[in-house]
Amino acid sequence: MEEKIRRIRELIRIINEAGKAYYQEDREIMSNYEYDALYDELVALEKETGVVFTGSPTQNVGYEVLSELPKEAHESPMLSLNKTKNVDELREWLGDQKGLLSWKMDGLTVVLTYEGGTLTKAVTRGNGEIGEVITNNARVFANVPLNIAYTGQLVLRGEAVIKYSDFERINEEITDVDARYKNPRNLCSGSVRQLNNEITAKRNVHFFAFFLVKADGVDFSNSREQQFLWLRKQGFETVEWKDVTADTLSEAVHEFAEAVEKNDVPSDGLVLLYDDIAYGESLGRTAKFPRDSIAFKWADEIQETTLSYIEWSASRTGLINPVAVFEPVELEGTTVSRASVHNISIMESLELGVGDRITVYKANMIIPQIADNLTRSGVKDIPKICPVCGGATEIRNMSGIKTLYCTNPDCQAKKIKSFALFASRDALNIDGLSEATLEKFIGAGFIHEYSDMFHLDRHRDEIVEMDGFGEKSYENLTEAAKKASVTTLPRLVYGLGIAGIGLANAKMLCRHFHYDFDAMRHASKEELMEVDGIGDVLADAWTAFFADEKNNGIVDRLLKELTIEKEEEDGEDQPLAGMTFVITGSVEHFANRKELQALIESKGGKATGSVTSKTTYLINNDTASNSSKNKKAKELGIPILSEEDFLKMLEQE
């Protein structure tokens, strides 16, 4: 008995630490599979011994709110749901009742209150007893009605979520890979609890109603389904549900399972709710769970396999992540051979060594994870050098988590931005080679310098096996690299990322040196400063870059991969030579301002962003406006042209 009580205390500590790390600190110290297994063990021990301690995660619902938002107590506690992974247990629970089976969405639960047909209050679930008031934020959710036809008091619960498609869009807009969000749930939690609802509005948060708490004076014929249908008529989106009985339950669960991968709304299981309102309410509740509903977690399909090796993948922060590569197995209808192990601490908890027999599964039927290590030979061969640059590594202990880092400040993995610039639209324009993809490839050792981007065929087998890739993605990428290898000299010069040399300066340099790259790279500081727009600082940056033997070697190897298109030099068609233009406001005769800028540059002119004494003309269709640029131009006596004026001037030149 004492041994079991000791184990209960230990489980409470471990589970609470993992929960705090996951929910409050956005870090993961164990897999979902491990967490569920430990939780189930604790429930069984508490039931067997009859001993339940204060602080047990089986009794506490959520964590204390840590925010500057106002707090408010819920009228009735918001409880967690009891759960099962067994369809037979679901069927037994439902009995001869009709049920509603719906997604268990993975976001943040919110309670909305309407008075007189107007949204008056929104409160998060918080710790189940006290939530945070987020009314201003709820008013800018993408699909929450501010006013409804019903004028009585309405209280309903639902899940605020960020869809996978919006999550990916938001992350793509964040250029710093390390600053990107880990999953839609974390992003949603932060978005819903913003102090500035302008940020919330930009995140496209959606609300899906899943429970009607109160609607005085409305007859729902004792049916939860009728409540859902009524809520839809009021303008709310509800969870997707299916009517089920004990006979149809298994088929409905299977249909949801097949839809998981294509579902744009994040979910981590299903919820089964009695349709009969009175029957469900008559069952009451336990200290933690209501008895009118139950959660279903997917029974993970587990396969046994052999760990082939640990792949160490470096990132821009210097962090080197371990990835388990194992003999391929079929999971949830797809072939899987890789799973992230996250850090050395998790490797050590699994005692993970090459050749071990491991079991693997897909968390929420999507993300490959290691469930257990059956042979536990122990962690060994943690690399002493970085797989990307060969620099020394070190193990760091941060908040109790051991991670591996590269100590070389010049590691290529830390130079993601320079590679991303080279592949960007205005440089070589290698479509599909995003910053996130570059981080994966550089971390895996596929790319060490620019020329390697044109030899991804050397790593075909590894690329097609990577998460998010396949044969088609690989083919698209190599085709994009082949297309990008035929380029122009200004694009190349800009893509080298020499400090301060933007695309406009690259074009000016190329024109001045008549597109002779050899002459450009060997030019003296004095020769460079003869170029319009190249001053002392930029000339120093250029000469310093090409004074470095390593840089010249990188450029020489790159040139062997490229075909530089010959630029047409027509001295007679340079009517804007020596002129500097600033473009502001909207344009009418061009697709955008970049297209107008390209025309100016093709005629020998230069386009800049700020009005200075060196500006020849300001182009603004609203010539009479009081914009700051118009005011500055007038102060300096610089003519302001409309597009029409500019085009007429061009015709006359």
Query: Which CA distances in Å does 35 have to 15, 21, 182, 378, 621?
Result: 7, 12, 19, 22, 62
Nearest to 361 by CA among 21, 611, 32, 11: 32
**Which one-letter amino acid corresponds to residue 441?**
F
Helix (H) / strand (E) element for 16: namely: helix 2-24
Q: Residue 493 and residue 501: Cα distance in Å, rounded?
A: 8
- Which of 85, 98, 104, 380 is an active site residue? 104
Nearest to 137 by CA among 202, 92, 62, 201: 201
Catalytic residue list contains 104? yes
Nearest to 257 by CA among 248, 268, 246: 268
Using the structure block, give the residue that is written with the tokens 């020489």.
556
Nearest to 111 by CA among 143, 137, 133, 80: 133
Question: Across-strand partners of 73?
Answer: 130
Taking residue 515's Cβ as centre, other Cβ atoms within 10 Å add up to: 19
**Which one-letter amino acid corresponds to residue 34?**
E
**Which one-letter amino acid corresponds to residue 362?**
K
Report phi then psi at 576, rounded to 5.
-105, 10
Q: Residue 160 and residue 144: Cα distance in Å, rounded?
A: 10
Instruction: For 23-45, give the DSSP string.
Output: HHS---SS-HHHHHHHHHHHHHH
Q: Where are the beta strands (DSSP E) in 341-475?
A: 357-363, 367-373, 393-398, 401-406
**Which one-letter amino acid corresponds to residue 128?**
G
Helix (H) / strand (E) element for 503: namely: helix 503-512
Report phi then psi at 196, rounded to 5.
-110, 110
Nearest to 498 by CA among 443, 526, 440, 539: 539
Coil, strand or helix at 382: coil
Nearest to 638 by CA among 618, 610, 609: 618
Using the structure block, give the residue that is written with the tokens 């002779």.
516
Intra-chain end-to-end CA distance of the chain, in Å: 98
Q: Residue 180 and residue 146: Cα distance in Å, rounded?
A: 31
H and E: helices and strands count for the chain: 24, 24
488: its two tokens: 């122009």
Give, in degrees to the nearest 5, the angle at Cα 288 between 128 and 80: 55
Coil, strand or helix at 406: strand
Catalytic residues: 104
